[in-house]
């Protein structure tokens, strides 16, 4: 019942975690606004959602277009005249060693994973302040809590995400605003296909780690439970949870295992 009639804007809704959240939230009759670049993929997700909910709007956009983000946010608010929850799921990962990686790849990873959710949030804050309520959910990563090979830029961007949204939680200028940071380990989605390689071209491969990842349905269910419980931080991981534990309590073992694991 919690999500019924809630107005929820999901970025990265054309695929993976964002698309699965859209479907499960539609089943609970939320009112959805879906954003991503691929309009035809968004239309497919929308069609699926409209089987369950009466309200599902698409707002195709590149969240990295800094000049148009403010307008994008205004359009999202205008869709139903309000936003209750925003879920920042748009993201792109990396598969390249630091020594080979072009600086342009780092900039691209920072744009989509960090600057986009930061800018959207900044332009949404006045809306949340006006009504003294709202919920911001950001999909970070276990790579935002510790290092992981082949992901220097991705891990840097996700660490920045954690820093930004955790600080927003601490600033607490809007009493009715909740912030949930989600840190998934490997989830079974096509994310490794679009991962940026050293020169910015897509990796185009489903990695074994991705294929054997946590089912996306389970990931979406855990995110929704966390939102409902207004959790500040959710970790959704199997092996990475143990790695993180080692990072805290047995760093030498963490470095040995993470080096090997991350290369696969
Ligand atoms: N899968 C995992 O193992 C995993 C683990 C930890 C964290 N995460 C995080 O979870 C989030 C979702 O990832 P996923 O696994 O669902 O990957 P995915 O299936 O590749 O989905 C990524 C989504 O981001 C959108 N996107 C990428 N660049 C964009 C841009 N410039 N503007 C607008 N939308 C853009 C894509 O849509 P278009 O291409 O249509 O724009 C797509 O809808 C990401 O933030 C990712 O970092 C995933």
State if residue 17 touches ligand 1 by the CB under 6 angstroms criterion: yes
Q: Is residue 163 part of a domain?
A: yes
Residue 21: pLDDT over 80 = yes
Q: What is the CATH number of the domain that holds 231?
A: 3.40.50.720
Return the residue matching tokens 């990072």: 247
Q: Is residue 70 part of a domain?
A: yes
**pLDDT category of residue 261 using cuts at 50, 70 and 90:** confident
Handedness of CA 18, 19, 23, 26 (dihedral sign): positive
State if residue 192 touches ligand 1 by the CB under 6 angstroms criterion: no
**pLDDT category of residue 139 using cuts at 50, 70 and 90:** very high
State if residue 194 touches ligand 1 by the CB under 6 angstroms criterion: yes
Count of C-beta atoms within a 10 Å radius of residue 248: 10
Q: For 156-179, what is each residue's pLDDT tens digit?
A: 999 999 999 999 999 989 999 999
Q: For 50-97, what is each residue's pLDDT tens digit?
A: 999 999 999 999 999 988 999 999 999 999 999 999 999 999 999 999
Residue with the smallest CA separation from ligand 1 atom 16 is 16
Tell me how long the chain is: 264
Residue 22: pLDDT over 80 = yes
- pTM above the 0.85 mark? yes
Name every residue whose Cβ is closer than 8 Å to that of residue 175 and which is 6 or more positions away in sequence. 132
Domains identified in the chain, total number: 1
Q: Is residue 245 part of a domain?
A: no
Q: How far is CA 88 from CA 35, 52, 137, 169, in A?
A: 10, 22, 6, 16
| Residue 154 falls in the annotated catalytic set | yes
Q: For 221-243, what is each residue's pLDDT tens digit?
A: 999 999 999 999 999 999 999 99
Closest ligand 1 atom to Cα of 193: 20
Q: What is the mean pLDDT of the chain?
A: 96
* From 106, 154, 244, 254, the catalytic residue: 154
∠ Cα 263 94 37 (to 5°):
150
- pLDDT (mean) for 194-214: 95
Cα of 18 vs centre of ligand 1, distance in Å, is: 7
State if residue 226 touches ligand 1 by the CB under 6 angstroms criterion: no
Tokens of 227: 């939102």
State if residue 75 touches ligand 1 by the CB under 6 angstroms criterion: no
**pLDDT category of residue 181 using cuts at 50, 70 and 90:** very high
Q: Is residue 193 part of a domain?
A: yes
Cα–Cα distance, 93 to 200 (Å, whole number): 11
Residue 259: pLDDT over 90 = no
Residue 209: pLDDT over 90 = no
Q: How far is CA 29 from CA 37, 56, 81, 180, in A?
A: 24, 10, 17, 21
Q: φ and ψ at 34, to 5 degrees? A: -115, 130
Res 263: pLDDT: 58
Which of the pair, 259 or 86, is modelled with greater confidence?
86
Cα of 25 vs centre of ligand 1, distance in Å, is: 18
Residue 262: pLDDT over 80 = no
Q: Is residue 249 part of a domain?
A: no
Query: Hey, which residues does 215 pair with through a beta bridge?
Result: 188
Question: What residue numbers bound the domain in which 59 lies?
Answer: 7-237
Q: Is residue 258 part of a domain?
A: no
């Amino acid at each position: 019942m919690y999500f019924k009639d809630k107005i929820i804007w999901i970025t990265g809704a054309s695929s993976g975690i964002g698309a699965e959240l859209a479907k499960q939230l539609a089943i609970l009759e939320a009112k959805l606004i879906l954003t991503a670049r691929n309009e035809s993929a968004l239309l497919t997700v929308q069609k699926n959602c409209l089987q369950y909910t009466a309200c599902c709007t698409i707002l195709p956009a590149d969240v990295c277009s800094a000049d148009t983000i403010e307008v994008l946010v205004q359009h999202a608010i205008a869709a139903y005249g309000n936003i209750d929850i925003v879920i920042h799921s748009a993201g792109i990962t990396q598969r390249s060693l630091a020594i080979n990686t072009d600086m342009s790849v780092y900039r691209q990873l920072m744009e989509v994973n960090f600057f986009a959710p930061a800018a959207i949030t900044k332009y949404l804050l006045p809306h949340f302040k006006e009504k003294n309520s709202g919920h911001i959910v950001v999909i970070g990563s276990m790579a935002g809590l510790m290092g992981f090979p082949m992901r220097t830029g991705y891990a840097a961007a996700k660490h920045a995400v954690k820093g930004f949204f955790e600080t927003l939680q601490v600033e607490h200028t809007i009493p009715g605003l909740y912030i949930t940071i989600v840190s998934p380990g490997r989830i079974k989605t096509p994310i490794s296909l679009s991962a940026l390689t050293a020169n910015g071209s897509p990796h185009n491969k489903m990695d074994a780690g991705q294929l054997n990842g946590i089912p996306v349905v389970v990931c979406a269910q855990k995110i929704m439970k966390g939102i409902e419980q207004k959790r500040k931080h959710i970790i959704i991981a199997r092996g990475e949870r143990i790695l993180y534990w080692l990072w805290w309590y047995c760093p030498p073992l963490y470095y040995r295992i993470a080096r090997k694991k991350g290369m696969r």
